[in-house]
Amino acid sequence: MKKKHKRKIVAVVVVISIVVPGLIFFFSQVSRENGTPFTSLELEQANRVLGNGTSLNDLESDWIGLHGTETHGKIANNPNPYPVDFGDYKRLTLAADSQYLYVKTEVYGAFPSSFSEVPSFSGDKIQSVIMKLIIVNDDNEMQALMIGGVNYHAGLFPSLIRYFFVHYIGIIDGEEAFQDQYFEGLITGGFGCDYIIQAFPLEKLGLQHGDTIRIQAFLEAGSDKYHHALIDNLNDELTQGQKEQPIYTVTI
């Protein structure tokens, strides 16, 4: 009897000391990336402001060609970008009010609602679609990087992700590095929709309503096999054919 009790106690201690904190940490990480949804009033305001915003249109099926040999755990680039409409940039709209920079990312097809609906290419499934919006200064140096997208997490916990970085400090270990990363702001859309709307706090970005900013943007997807299963640069009709990400000047 005593032994049985002891085993029970050990199991309870393991659950309390390891499993529970582990789960709390996991869900806090997931929810930290997920961000806060808009309230209906906040979304009304976002749509009102975005209605007067600046839109930049992107062509259909214009993924950039990638070279697929570099390795980094996975193969870095898919030489034949997967032609998925939810990974095809359609339009970026930017606008601000006194509190937020609103960012609407539109694609040519709805994001799958669940991992099982994500198409597979020779057994390779897309795991995430991420929009990256970069603010550069007059010397074309990176100032801020905003992230938004859908992450299917191999089907376990599909989630919207968003965060942003400010105060660029240079390239460290081959990656752009920033002094500060924030998980604040609002996000909606994604699964089952052909858009994502985000609100980034202006104050944390060091911006004000009415500022003129210089931006670049692109959409990328990761798969089981490739870091970049596809990349679509935001480049409108005037700049089509350009491989680089053109810089646009926008007053917010």
82 binds Ca ion (CB under 5 A): no
> Does residue number 62 form part of the binding site for Ca ion (CB under 5 A)?
yes
Q: Please identify which residue in 38, 75, 77, 88 interacts with Ca ion, judged by CB under 5 A.
A: 88
- Helices within the chain (DSSP H only): 2-14, 20-34, 40-51, 202-205
Residue among 114, 108, 124, 120 at smallest CA distance from 159: 114
Please list every residue from 182 through 241 that binds Ca ion, using CB under 5 A. Answer: 232-233, 235
Cβ closest to Ca ion, residue 49 vs residue 134: 134
Given the rule CB under 5 A, which of 60-68, 118-126, 166-174, 203-211 is the region that contacts Ca ion?
60-68
3-state secondary structure of 116: helix
Size of the site for Ca ion (CB under 5 A): 7
Nearer to Ca ion, 127 or 233 (CB): 233
Minimum CB separation of residue 57 from Ca ion in Å reads 9
63: DSSP letter: P
User: Nearest distance from residue 228's CB to Ca ion, in Å?
Assistant: 14
φ/ψ of 126, rounded to 5, equals -70, 135
Dist. CA 163–CA 59, nearest whole Å: 26
Q: Which is nearer to Ca ion, 62 or 97 (CB)?
A: 62
Rank residues 67 and 243 by Cβ distance to Ca ion and give the closer one: 243
Burial of 5 (0-12, 13-18, 19+ CB in 10 A): exposed
Q: Which of 58, 161, 217, 229 binds Ca ion (CB under 5 A)?
A: 58
Nearer to Ca ion, 188 or 235 (CB): 235
> 108 or 168, CB closer to Ca ion?
108
Q: CA–CA distance from 60 to each of 37, 63, 83, 89, 192 (Å)?
A: 29, 9, 10, 7, 19
Grouping H, G, I as helix, E, B as strand and the rest as coil, residue 55 is strand
Binding range to Ca ion, per CB under 5 A, among 25-33, 51-59, 134-142, 206-214: 51-59
Based on the shown chain and the rule CB under 5 A, indicate whether residue 42 belongs to the binding site for Ca ion. no
Cα–Cα distance list, 107 to 3, 15, 93, 187 (Å)? 61, 44, 12, 16
Q: Is 152 near Ca ion (CB under 5 A)?
A: no
Q: Which is nearer to Ca ion, 88 or 220 (CB)?
A: 88
Residue 89 interacts with Ca ion (CB under 5 A): yes or no: yes
Rounded Cα–Cα distance for residues 66 and 80 (Å): 7
Interface ranges with Ca ion (CB under 5 A):
58, 62, 88-89, 232-233, 235
